[in-house]
Amino acid sequence: GQNIDQPTEMTATEGAIVQINCTYQTSGFNGLFWYQQHAGEAPTFLSYNVLDGLEEKGRFSSFLSRSKGYSYLLLKELQMKDSASYLCAVRDRNEAAGNKLTFGGGTRVLVKP
């Protein structure tokens, strides 16, 4: 099975940078996803890492170290609209299961003016 840990809540100031860490223990790994979820809305895809290293996409970057079972999501130049929950999810290697996702509990980020 999978065990995924991320902080419950983080607070940051508009314009600043926030780093959300995610650690995982897995019996099979086939990639790590980050999703953003505003309250009452669907999770929306932010990033995908399957190899070690940093993936940059605009203000958002995601890093993966498979040997350490560790990822982080970096949000730069924070905007008020970035206040949301950020979900770390590991994809199962089992294709018969459709490569299902196992999610962490989510990190609620509150951006203050």
Partner 1 sequence: GAGVSQSPRYKVAKRGQDVALRCDPISGHVSLFWYQQALGQGPEFLTYFQNEAQLDKSGLPSDRFFAERPEGSVSTLKIQRTQQEDSAVYLCASSLVPGQGNEQYFGPGTRLTVT
**Is 104 in contact with 87 (CB distance < 8 Å)?**
yes
Please report how close the Cβ of residue 64 comes to partner 1 at its closest, in angstroms. 14
Query: 46 vs 59, 73, 94, CA distance in Å?
Result: 11, 9, 23
Minimum gap (Å) between residue 87 Cβ and partner 1: 5
Q: Enter the DSSP assignment of 79.
A: -
Of 12-20, 40-48, 58-66, 75-83, the segment contacting partner 1 by CB under 8 A is: 40-48
Is 29 a binder of partner 1 (CB under 8 A)?
no
Selected from 17, 100, 110, 112, the binder of partner 1 by CB under 8 A is: 100
